[in-house]
């Protein structure tokens, strides 16, 4: 007869098993707050999926903003190795966000209709963290401040980001400090306005790509920016296809044209010269 195998007790391996006077895993992560933050407004089974999908996306965006802000500061200081790591991490964050759409796609149109009315006028395009990411990346659209006017703290923060240099502005300034010729009008432009492509910037990036060994830090920076935008574009595309799969061409809950609006966002390019120059190499 086989010996009875007793369940393993982690305490025998030195694991801490009592936490009456100690910080536990749940304490450190404030799991009571995190796991109590899901409050479905209907009895629909899939509403919890919808809430968790969007809440976790906001958490990942919080980390993306943390990394992008630090990367921008590092580029401004000419300290590129940490910036490379931060930009790589940001790209991987958007890879993670892309994978999350696969879970949401398991929700059918019939599933969504069981709780859509509970959403009221709320919509993903009202995400202020997403707007902050857009502003930090350089897509500055003043019209997109209006959905946040009812929360002054958030609105003021977004205005400050809109008025600051973007990641791309700092990359261009670094090229100038590195000896590449950039038009003065680009360096002194109003950073609160959307960036407009410029031939001097294109020519500077071309010089970098035509002789990578002579400009290796800038060459690597360029590829890190392209990598980030690549994953960011995929996230936008997956958003479009997921919405089309679930609601077709219905108008969005926030009043936008839904899929048509999201498709328009696919045409936005964050770092235009870095994509355009590829045809010239």
Instruction: Provide the domain count of the chain.
Output: 1
Considering the domain boundaries, does residue 24 fall inside one? no
pLDDT score recorded for residue 179: 97
- 185: its two tokens: 């009008």
Instruction: Please state the separation of Cα 223 from the chain's center in Å.
Output: 18
Considering the domain boundaries, does residue 63 fall inside one? yes
Average pLDDT, integer, range 176-199: 97
Specify the DSSP element, H or E, that contains 52. Answer: helix 47-76
Mean pLDDT of the chain: 90
pLDDT score recorded for residue 253: 54
Candidate from 162-166, 246-250, 257-261 with smallest mean pLDDT: 257-261
User: Do 95 and 231 touch, CB atoms closer than 8 A?
Assistant: yes
Average pLDDT, integer, range 187-199: 96
Q: What is the pTM of this model?
A: 0.89
Residue 270: DSSP 8-state: S
Q: Which DSSP string corresponds to 209-264?
A: HHSGGGGHHHHHHHHHHHHHHHHHHHHHHHHHHHHHHHHTTPPPTTSS-THHHHHH
pLDDT band (50, 70, 90) for residue 164:
very high
pLDDT score recorded for residue 260: 66
Considering the domain boundaries, does residue 15 fall inside one? no
Give the CATH number for residue 80.
1.20.58.480
Please check if 172 is assigned to a binding site. Answer: no
Candidate from 35-39, 99-103, 151-155, 225-229 with smallest mean pLDDT: 99-103
203-252: pLDDT as tens digits: 999 999 999 999 999 999 999 999 999 999 888 888 778 877 776 655 55
Please check if 164 is assigned to a binding site. Answer: no
The vertex-268 CA angle with 231 and 112, nearest 5°, equals: 70
Considering the domain boundaries, does residue 172 fall inside one? yes
Residue reference for tokens 């796991």:
35
pLDDT score recorded for residue 247: 63
Considering the domain boundaries, does residue 12 fall inside one? no
Task: Identify the domain containing residue 154 by its residue range.
Answer: 43-279
Considering the domain boundaries, does residue 6 fall inside one? no
pLDDT score recorded for residue 239: 79
* Residue 119 clears pLDDT 60, i.e. is over it: yes
- 252: its two tokens: 């969005």
For residues 267 and 83, the model is more confident at 83
pLDDT band (50, 70, 90) for residue 114:
very high
Tell me the residue length of the chain.
281
Please check if 116 is assigned to a binding site. Answer: yes
Please check if 239 is assigned to a binding site. Answer: yes
Please check if 52 is assigned to a binding site. Answer: yes
Residue 126's CB is within 10 A of a number of other CB atoms, namely: 14
Considering the domain boundaries, does residue 60 fall inside one? yes
Number of Cα atoms under 13 Å in the Cβ half of residue 136: 25
pLDDT score recorded for residue 167: 97
* Residue 155 clears pLDDT 80, i.e. is over it: yes
User: Do 245 and 102 touch, CB atoms closer than 8 A?
Assistant: no
Considering the domain boundaries, does residue 23 fall inside one? no
């Amino acid at each position: 007869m086989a010996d009875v195998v007793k369940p393993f007790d982690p305490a025998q391996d030195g694991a801490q098993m009592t936490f009456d006077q100690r910080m536990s895993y749940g304490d450190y992560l404030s799991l009571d707050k995190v796991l109590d933050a899901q409050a479905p407004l209907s009895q629909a089974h899939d509403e919890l999926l919808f809430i968790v999908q969007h809440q976790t996306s906001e958490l990942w965006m919080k980390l993306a903003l943390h990394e992008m802000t630090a990367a921008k500061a590092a580029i401004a200081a000419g300290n590129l190795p940490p910036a490379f790591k931060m930009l790589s991490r940001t790209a991987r964050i958007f890879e993670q966000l892309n994978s999350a759409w696969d879970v949401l796609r398991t929700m059918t149109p019939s599933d969504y209709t069981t709780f859509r009315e509970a959403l009221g006028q709320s919509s993903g395009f009202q995400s202020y963290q997403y707007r902050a990411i857009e502003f930090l990346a350089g897509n500055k659209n003043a019209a997109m401040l209006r959905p946040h006017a009812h929360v002054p703290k958030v609105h003021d923060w977004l205005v400050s980001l809109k008025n600051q240099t973007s990641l791309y502005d700092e990359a261009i300034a670094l090229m100038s400090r590195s000896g590449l010729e950039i038009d003065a009008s680009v360096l002194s432009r109003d950073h609160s306005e959307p960036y407009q492509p410029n031939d001097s910037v294109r020519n500077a990036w071309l010089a970098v790509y035509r002789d990578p060994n002579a400009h290796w830090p800038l060459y690597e920076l360029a590829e890190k920016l392209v990598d980030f935008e690549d994953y960011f574009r995929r996230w936008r595309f997956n958003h479009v296809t997921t919405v089309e799969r679930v609601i077709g061409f219905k108008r969005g809950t926030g009043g936008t044209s839904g899929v048509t609006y999201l498709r328009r966002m696919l045409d936005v390019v964050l770092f235009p010269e870095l994509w355009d120059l590829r045809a010239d190499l």
